[in-house]
Structure 1
Amino acid sequence: MTRYYWTGGNRSHEQDRFFEESLDPSLWQKAEGPEQWDACWYTGMPDPEYFSEVGPGRTINHIPGNNALTVKSRLYQSLMSLRDRVQRQEKGGHHLSDRLAFVPQVFAMPADYHAFQEAALANPEKRWILKPKNAARGKGIQLVDDPADVPVDSSWMVQEYLENPHTMHGRKYVLRLYVLVSSISPFRVYLYRQGFAKLASMPYDEENANNPYSYLTNPDVNALNLDAEVPVEFVDFERYRAWLREQGHDDDALFARIEDMVALTCLSALEPMRERSRVVGADTRGCYELMGIDCLIDQDLKPWVLECNLSPSLEVCAGPESGGDVEEGIKGSIVADMVEMLGLNRPPAGDTNASGAEQVVRETQDEIANSGGFRNLIPGSDPSSYLPFMALPRLSDWVVAQALCDKPLKQPCLERWCAEETFSEDQVYLYDTRLGHLSSLNETASLIWLMATEGAGPDDIASALVDSAAKSMPTAPDAWAIRNDVWNTLADWVNNRFLVQSDGQPTDQGPSESGQSSLSNAATVMSMVVSCGRFRARFLADSAPLVHRIGKLLEPMTRPDEAPNDSLPRLEVVRDTPGFTLILEGQVIRSRLPLAEVVPAIVRCFATQAATHGDIAMDAGLIGDSGDEAVLVSHSDSSLRDSLTLGLHEQWGVPCGRGALLKATSGGVVEGLGLPLQGSDRTESFRPAHSGITGAAGRTTAVLVPSEAALGDGGIQALTVNESLKHLLPVCCAENGRPLDTDEFARLADWLEERQCFLVDMNHLEAAAATLSGNCFEQTLQKASGGR
């Protein structure tokens, strides 16, 4: 039966020809278009719809989710995520995590911009290399001259520049490794026996490292070096390893480290590939991925992974005199061996009566037997060495490992990580200690959870379920399907960090990422009655960091909690993904708040809720003696925040707070709201209002407006009512935060007519404070001074 192949994407004849030449012409014909094919060879990443019909007998040369490896910034994140999980598994040990120390530090813009600047400042001797996140063939790569010049645009990343590279004939080189992921279920990874050392076209010189022909090894870059006798030179691994031995190095030891690096690098993206394949509906039995991994060798012969390239170039870059003939032969054999190993030139396998376990084992054994120049890394000669690096092996991984391992394998042991269970009416609920989410489990999932957390292995759990089903079903249950469901359910929980693989030893860490159990989190739940003007509510929060941050700030506004189950409005701050969400009576006020922005959001919420019908709430500073004279400070200039209020408090020594309420029935008296204050520096922490400010009513003698402009020797300048209104109106609101209506506006203007209004020079605050104290606040200040 004739089968059809199709080539597409950002392709060229050179990129396609080895694939076309490897297919048996008696079995394959080229398709006229992308509508119907049995094998697709696509350069670049195809759209998701290409994966909708893949499966046994219909293949494509990509795996959904491969960008966890092939996007430079994602590669680093994948490896760091793997390292974090492995470190948690080891409980302070280093045997496994030390094997992951082969990736240079990466900062992805813009999220890591400040972290990079801090790292550059702390390490002035270190150099950095700037790379486009999704470019290829060396485009845009450059050394960073000045860290301050690094762009913040999201298309860029900065990578630690690895000093002291190993050199060949005085020139820097990078190894190009050809890696094949032939399956993600079970996971199978291969490294081709041949590859290349790609040499820079000029000698490596620390003093001349800004020369791209000295520090870059990409052939597309070095081909532009017209001064080089051989601008592009490839040395195949056979000659490279012989040269290493001539230099007295152990090439077998180096390549053993390279193989481990490659296997672990691919493992870091296993779960992202599985999850993305599930989302796009791909039958991954029809997916495979050939990648080009670039690896630098340092002067200590330690390998470092630099990047993983999607659809590696199969064009011949070097000339015949510098390894071009060898390059062509190697690239052709890579594709030919891959086609043979994947069985593209063999008829699709027919139905078999073999069990599920027998099928996956036989498939793996047949593939390894036909692997040609590819060396199998996973499952490899010792499958047990990579099982701990999987979040949790799936059943197919476990069955293959058991079949190929020369020793019995102990089932994975699991323990709680970021989840705790609770019980209600014979049902199990899982509480996510990171996000604060509660989810219920059905009867089967409950049994799986309880047995797993008591130390039972996945197959032990499956056996118990099979025995239970056999007693209640008229026919024998499908044991393979039950085993598969158990392994998948546990793997999903591990991926959610509810569970983690364990060595069976007790951990000194609690189940949550912070090391605290849900009980300690429960102990930090805040529930208090808070009053702000006319607004009275029950404030609730269950995040320990937030409670620590906000508790003292709200103390001046708290009221006796006489009725814990009262019907007061509820103002809640709940943990969300990402950040926090502020909710008032079931309505979301703000969401996706980082911790630093929660307090300003709460302050804004209180300020807008303080007024009822006819009142005017002012989000402004208030300075004065409790129940007597006071000074109102507008902070319409958000960059200055409460700096004038705090500055005058320090100069005069009188209490201060934030927020004032001009009640509809109060005449000219203003009541303090007692909101916390913040200085002009955004990093400065909030301060609670002083005792007695909240709820205290007093006569306001003046309104002050901070100014960054110089105002003369006295430091103040009188303002008209209209000028004062321009500054005060933006921080005023009526009921439910709405703008003032006509009557309220007129009342505010009349109120200002009876107050002195001044601009205050923030550059000469001491002089301004002295002028103001002698001008209109003498009685208040004398009273405050006498009380000190």
Structure 2
Amino acid sequence: MAVKTVATKTFQGRIERRRGITDRPVRFRCFLQNAIYDVLKNRGWIESRDDEEWDFYWCDVGSMKDLFDRGYFEEHMRINHFRNHYELTRKDLMVKNLKRFRKQVEREQGRLEALKCDFFPTTYVLPSEYHLFVEEFKRNPDTTWIMKPAARAQGKGIFLFRKLQDITAWRRGEYMTAYDKEQNREAVETYVVQRYVDNPYLIGGKKFDIRIYMLVTSYNPLRVWLYREGFARLSGTRYTVESIEDTYVHITNNAIQKTAPNYDPDKGYKWSMGRVRQYLIAKHGHEIVDIMFKQMDDIFIKSLQSVQKIMINDKHCFELYGYDILLDANLKPWLIETNASPSLTASNQEDNELKIRLLDDMLNVVDMEGRLTGKEKRIGGFDLIYNDGPVYFDEAGVETFNLNTLRLNSFLGCANDRNVQLRHLYRQNQLIKRMEKAAAAAAAATSNNTN
């Protein structure tokens, strides 16, 4: 097997080694039969059987631990999860890490900087923080709260409440009797309870949240890519805070909405990120919307920094996260949750095309074929926003430290001319590699003549 190694410098001057498979198709395994499988096959990669070697593995979080425990990864191999990804993607652990990070920022940088970490609602983990929650509940008796299972997805088990008695049946299992323990009855499922954001921004009178995709290729150093495209998921029912028992009003997850009697996937329940951006600019102007997007960038970076020191970094791993963001009526973004396995099943043709582009660009960044130099700030629809520090952009399209032009290299909801950009990028990289090869040959010839 020919695996070429290219030595490159990153923006901060570090040397890293990139390997690419050059003499055969990449071999992959994939546990899904949806968009990711189609993308892998369309790249000309070959599916490996269980008894065959692989280069790239798209595995589920359940089998990942066994894979790490049993396997030895060769240098070029890649897998789509970090070992303890759940530190950010389990709701209770995410909140624990965010709270700890906020305290750390306040201790090291002051209270004003710590206020930038107030992007998640007041949250308690139950049953461990039940008594703290009760104290908060009594201080704010008219507040609406939302309960979420810590380790479930797709909107399962979520409900809203305003009275403590509404969770009595759930709480009853917290204190098990000796008899219960002898019978090996299961402990109470861990939940998070959050102050419900009851003043959401509405489009056409309907609540929505925004799904945004982040790609992390390293935690040490932290290297973060933001995808330009995403989408808003709209409720099919007009918003009202009065009917808290109506899940179709309050939970925008597509897994919930598609069970509604009047659901129609082609009826406009999803807006592209570009459409959302244009709508908000038309209503509020560029300046206000730019501030909102900068706050969202802060959420992405700070949430990842909150787990950076505890995440088990591995050069074989990467993670595609699905961030869920809610805007309130003041255009303040709130982090709702982070998903390690964002849905790759399309709800309609437009959704399928977005996910095909997303996954193809993800593989372009992972770069199994070794076509990159390591200096790229944009690859298809992905923009590098953090590389052991913020990555900035100026009008010339190069990294800058001019304080008058500093702007994060973030383009969420902007045009994604990925095909043109990729063609230009790969042509440029081929030219650079030919020039480097020629320079190396010239240097070797000069050295031989000298000797």
TM category, shorter: 0.7 to 0.9
Tell me if 1:96 matches 2:113: yes
- Unaligned runs of at least 5 residues, structure 2: 1-22, 172-187, 393-397, 404-451
Tell me if 1:161 matches 2:196: yes
2:305 pairs, out of 254, 258, 267, with 267
Q: Does the 8 Å contact 1:130/1:157 carry over to 2?
A: yes
1:239 pairs, out of 264, 267, 275, with 275
2:319 pairs, out of 258, 268, 289, with 289
Structure showing greater relative contact order (alpha-carbon pairs closer than 8 Å, 6 or more residues apart)? 2
Tell me if 1:173 matches 2:208: yes
SS at structure 2 position matched to 1:345: coil
Match in the other structure for 1:747: none
When the two chains are superposed, the root-mean-square deviation of aligned CA atoms in Å is 2.5
1:447-486 to 2 correspondences below 5 Å: none
Match in the other structure for 2:175: none
CA distance in 2, matches of 1:127, 1:253: 28
CA distance in 2, matches of 1:110, 1:226: 35
CA shift, 1:164, in A, is: 0.3
Q: Does the 8 Å contact 1:54/1:285 carry over to 2?
A: no
Q: Does the 8 Å contact 2:207/2:250 carry over to 1?
A: yes
Amino acid in structure 2 at the alignment position of 1:80: K
Say if 1:405 and 1:86 are closer, same or farther in 2 by CA, change over 3 A: farther
For residues 687-711 of structure 1, give each alpha carbon's deviation from its aligned partner in whole angstroms, at most 9, with x where no partner exists. xxxxxxxxxxxxxxxxxxxxxxxxx
CA shift, 1:245, in A, is: 1.8
- Unaligned runs of at least 5 residues, structure 1: 278-283, 318-323, 350-361, 385-402, 409-788
Q: Does the 8 Å contact 1:6/1:41 carry over to 2?
A: yes
1:254-403 to 2 correspondences below 5 Å: 254-274=292-312, 277=313, 284-317=314-347, 324-346=348-370, 363=374, 365-366=375-376, 368-369=377-378, 371-379=379-387, 382=390
Tell me if 1:213 matches 2:248: yes
Say if 1:208 and 1:49 are closer, same or farther in 2 by CA, change over 3 A: closer
Q: Does the 8 Å contact 1:381/1:405 carry over to 2?
A: no
CA shift, 1:380, in A, is: 8.2
CA distance in 1, matches of 2:52, 2:335: 38
Match in the other structure for 1:77: 96
CA distance in 2, matches of 1:245, 1:98: 26
1:147 pairs, out of 138, 141, 164, with 164
For residues 461-491 of structure 1, give each alpha carbon's deviation from its aligned partner in whole angstroms, at most 9, with x where no partner exists. xxxxxxxxxxxxxxxxxxxxxxxxxxxxxxx
For residues 204-249 of structure 1, give each alpha carbon's deviation from its aligned partner in whole angstroms, at most 9, with x where no partner exists. 0122232111111011111111135667711001111111122134
> How many aligned positions are there?
352
CA distance in 1, matches of 2:38, 2:205: 34
Tell me if 1:32 matches 2:49: yes
1:528-567 to 2 correspondences below 5 Å: none
SS at structure 1 position matched to 2:310: helix
CA distance in 1, matches of 2:60, 2:51: 14
Amino acid in structure 1 at the alignment position of 2:275: R
CA shift, 1:82, in A, is: 0.6
Match in the other structure for 2:125: 108
Work out which of the two has the higher radius of gyration on C-alpha atoms and give 1 or 2.
1
Amino acid in structure 2 at the alignment position of 1:214: V
Tell me if 1:86 matches 2:86: no
SS at structure 2 position matched to 1:86: helix
Q: Does the 8 Å contact 1:18/1:336 carry over to 2?
A: no
For residues 703-757 of structure 1, give each alpha carbon's deviation from its aligned partner in whole angstroms, at most 9, with x where no partner exists. xxxxxxxxxxxxxxxxxxxxxxxxxxxxxxxxxxxxxxxxxxxxxxxxxxxxxxx
Say if 1:58 and 1:200 are closer, same or farther in 2 by CA, change over 3 A: same
Amino acid in structure 2 at the alignment position of 1:311: S
1:252 pairs, out of 281, 290, 307, with 290
CA shift, 1:18, in A, is: 4.2
Say if 1:331 and 1:310 are closer, same or farther in 2 by CA, change over 3 A: same
Match in the other structure for 2:137: 120
For residues 359-414 of structure 1, give each alpha carbon's deviation from its aligned partner in whole angstroms, at most 9, with x where no partner exists. xxx63x24x35x21112221288459xxxxxxxxxxxxxxxxxx966389xxxxxx
CA distance in 2, matches of 1:208, 1:47: 41
CA distance in 2, matches of 1:184, 1:381: 12
CA shift, 1:313, in A, is: 0.4
Match in the other structure for 2:85: 66
CA distance in 2, matches of 1:294, 1:123: 26
For residues 518-538 of structure 1, give each alpha carbon's deviation from its aligned partner in whole angstroms, at most 9, with x where no partner exists. xxxxxxxxxxxxxxxxxxxxx
CA distance in 2, matches of 1:34, 1:290: 27
SS at structure 2 position matched to 1:191: strand
CA distance in 2, matches of 1:163, 1:328: 32
Q: Does the 8 Å contact 1:204/1:215 carry over to 2?
A: yes
Deviates more, 1:146-155 or 1:81-90: 146-155
CA distance in 2, matches of 1:249, 1:109: 41
Amino acid in structure 2 at the alignment position of 1:7: C
CA shift, 1:338, in A, is: 0.9
1:589-668 to 2 correspondences below 5 Å: none
Q: Does the 8 Å contact 1:54/1:60 carry over to 2?
A: no
Taking structure 1 as the reference length, the TM-score comes to 0.43
Identity %: 27
Match in the other structure for 2:15: none
Match in the other structure for 2:36: 16
CA distance in 1, matches of 2:34, 2:129: 39
Amino acid in structure 2 at the alignment position of 1:210: E
CA shift, 1:311, in A, is: 1.2
Taking structure 2 as the reference length, the TM-score comes to 0.73
CA shift, 1:145, in A, is: 4.5
Amino acid in structure 2 at the alignment position of 1:205: T
CA distance in 1, matches of 2:141, 2:101: 29
Q: Does the 8 Å contact 1:54/1:287 carry over to 2?
A: no
For residues 293-339 of structure 1, give each alpha carbon's deviation from its aligned partner in whole angstroms, at most 9, with x where no partner exists. 1000000000000000111001112xxxxxx3321111111110111
SS at structure 2 position matched to 1:377: strand
For residues 423-449 of structure 1, give each alpha carbon's deviation from its aligned partner in whole angstroms, at most 9, with x where no partner exists. xxxxxxxxxxxxxxxxxxxxxxxxxxx
Amino acid in structure 1 at the alignment position of 2:249: S
CA shift, 1:104, in A, is: 0.9
CA distance in 2, matches of 1:305, 1:55: 36
CA shift, 1:157, in A, is: 2.0
For residues 77-96 of structure 1, give each alpha carbon's deviation from its aligned partner in whole angstroms, at most 9, with x where no partner exists. 11111111111102xx3342
For residues 621-666 of structure 1, give each alpha carbon's deviation from its aligned partner in whole angstroms, at most 9, with x where no partner exists. xxxxxxxxxxxxxxxxxxxxxxxxxxxxxxxxxxxxxxxxxxxxxx
Amino acid in structure 2 at the alignment position of 1:233: Y
CA distance in 2, matches of 1:273, 1:55: 21
